[in-house]
Structure 1
Amino acid sequence: MTPLRQSLIDECQIRGYSTRTRDTYIYAVEQLAKYYHQSPEKLTDEQLEQYFRSLSLERGLSCSTIHVQLNGIHFLYKHVLKRTFCIEVVWPKRPRTIPILLSKAEVKQIVAHCRHEKYRTMLKMYYGCGLRLNELVHVKVQDIDGARQTLRIHNGKGNKDRDVVLTMSLLHILRAYWHHFRSTDWLFFSSRGMAFKVGNTSVQKAFREACKLAGVTKKCSIHSLRHAYATHQLEGGMPLNQLQQQLGHADIRTTQHYLHWLPELNNGAQDLMADWDGVS
């Protein structure tokens, strides 16, 4: 490991950044070094300016990917190399697009057509709690508090912990799952054994297969279940600040985006959760 890489890791650790953030920063710096076949320490401002322009003009990267790259490189020069740019860094404007929104009927069909009990339970929990995929796969048995009907999320986005409310229907589903699989550490463990958590790719694959079997043709991803949870809860009357807590948004303005995506008002996600007692 090079001293520069170690310094970058140390600076991330000092600030309490998550492993995922650290790894994205490292990747961004690696891409910069590969582009010039030179250490970032030796690059001139003119080279950096050319690289920033190449991200969108030559490589055609998405706006989100460019932001990730710029964040990592900016962190390196500001906090590790203690160097300021003498160039103007143009941050591309993020397009405001409405995500693919699933109806309650579509969510129910997708879950019902998930053929493996483990992944079916994971999809129910993903939707029933409005989780992120990385949060879901890191759930441990000890994170579930049945008496308080809560789920403790450790090191969510922004490296923050939070408690998420579990409905009684979902709690029953999780108890049935545990009695079947008898998880000891990771709630959803890998086929390699209980010592290993299930991988993100495996869950995404199960979701795509369930969509195909359910006949859902929308271009959605597993993250669409989180969007569905948020919109369905707002439709059901959940206060915005409570939804912010459930989703783990640092800024309530992020949660407010869902207000602009709402179709006609219906009942909330909790109604669908109650129906899942019959979905085995």
Structure 2
Amino acid sequence: MERTSQYMFLGHYSQDSIRNYLRELRYFFVHYGDVPVQQFCADHVVQYLLYLNKTLGCSRTKCHGAAQSISFFFRNVLQKPLVLPTLIYPRKATKLPPVMSQQEIKALIDTIQNVKHRTVVMLLYSTGMRLREISKLKITDIDSKAMQIKVVQGKGSKDRFTLLSQQVLLELRAYYLIYRPQEYLFNGAQKGRPLSLRSIQHLVKIALARLGLQSKRYSVHTIRHSFATHLVENGTDLHTVKELLGHSSLQTTSRYLHLSAKHRQSVVNPYDVLPGEEQPSGSKTKH
């Protein structure tokens, strides 16, 4: 366990990844408590995954996470190649995430009376930052002269810049005068600690429930999806959206084309432009 932790630390894995990998490894070791570590083989892994799936009824995500953790341990600590059959984890089905309308975003912000909580949600939407990125945001990351925010060591240990809204900047200044944060923009309950992820999730959940939107599967991450989708609908090119979101691949960003209703409505149906086809007066040629 210690060696795995050290290797992951040297590989610049996030603290969350290290914690998750070690947790899954601990379960694996307990399951095979009487088996010496050096005797582990691929069959042990397959049987363990069958146990998780068939006996415990664990989800695909849980089983996949366990397989990744054990695979890392085999390759880097045991120095044993571990090749699992690809059929164990077929390609994950592509599901489009829910997106809030601009009216719903406005209502969400307006329903929050607490200045600090409202500012958090305004930043989530106006920057497209991830939950952890908002939590770790520091005062020094706000550049009001360039009207941008620096995201330090976001997902994948990458720095990037995102947008700073003029209206949100005014809200930030009002928030600062009231709360006087020191290092982190949003302080937690303990001095010198950032606002926790759970606290941010909770305040968004309460606001959604107040609007009766909890049944729509909205979450903190939905606000990020909404930011990206609304950018596309307003004509922002995909490459710019990719950079603002901190995506590694343009393919990941391209799904926001599918989420954009305006983009779909702007597409001309090929049948409507066939030679000799005339549209009835008052009909639309876009579908």
TM-score range, shorter chain: 0.7 to 0.9
Aligned pairs, number? 261
Out of 15, 21, 36, the position equivalent to 1:19 is: 15
Asked if residue 121 in structure 1 is aligned to residue 119 in structure 2, the reply is: yes
> What SS is found at the alignment partner of 1:264?
helix
One of 61, 64, 67 as aligned partner of 2:64: 67
Structure 1 runs, 4 residues or longer, greater than 6 Å off? none
- 1:225-240 matches, within 5 Å, as 225-240=223-238
Structure 1 residue 265 displacement after superposition: 5.0
C-alpha contact 1:64 1:94 (8 A) present in aligned 2 = no
| Whole-Å separation in 2 of the counterparts to 1:259 and 1:55 | 37
Give the Å deviation of 1:196.
Answer: 1.2
Q: State the partner residue of 2:74.
A: 77
Q: Unaligned regions of 5+ residues in structure 2, if any?
A: 265-287
Note closer, same or farther for the CA distance 1:265–1:60 as it changes in structure 2 (3 Å cut): same
The 8 Å contact of residues 125 and 224 in structure 2, kept in 1 or not, is answered as yes
**Deviation (angstroms), 1:160:** 1.2
Which SS does the other structure have where 1:161 is aligned?
Answer: strand
Structure 1 segment 35-74 matched on structure 2, within 5 A: 35-37=31-33, 40-74=37-71
How has the CA–CA distance of structure 1 residues 87 and 254 changed in structure 2, closer, same or farther, with 3 Å as cutoff? Answer: closer
Q: Could you list the per-position Cα deviations for residues 230-256 of structure 1 after superposition, in whole angstroms to 9, with x for gaps in the alignment? A: 111100011101100111101111001
Give per-residue Cα distances to partners, 1:149-191, cap 9 Å, x unaligned: 1211122111111111212222222222112211110110112
Match of 2:269 in 1: none
Any conservation in 2 of the 1:110–1:211 contact (CA below 8 Å)? yes
Alignment of 1:167-182 (within 5 A): 167-182=165-180
Q: Is the 8 A contact 1:137 1:197 kept in 2?
A: yes
**Compared CA separation, residues 79 and 146, structure 1 to 2 (3 A):** same
Deviation at 1:40, TM superposition (A): 4.9
Change beyond 3 A, Cα 1:245–1:86:
closer
Structure 1, unpaired ranges of 5+: 267-280
Query: 2:198 is matched with which residue?
Result: 201
The answer (yes or no) to whether the contact 1:114–1:207 under 8 Å persists in 2 is no
Residues 96 and 255 in structure 2, CA contact (< 8 A), matched pair in contact too: no
Counterpart code for 2:92: R
Secondary structure at 1:197 match in 2:
coil
Higher relative contact order (CA 8 A, sep 6+): 1
Distance 1:87 1:229, change over 3 A: closer
Matched, 1:220 2:218: yes
Q: Which moved more, 1:238-247 or 1:80-89?
A: 80-89
In structure 1, how many angstroms separate the alpha carbons of the residues matched to 2:109 and 2:184?
22
Q: TM-score, normalised by structure 2?
A: 0.85
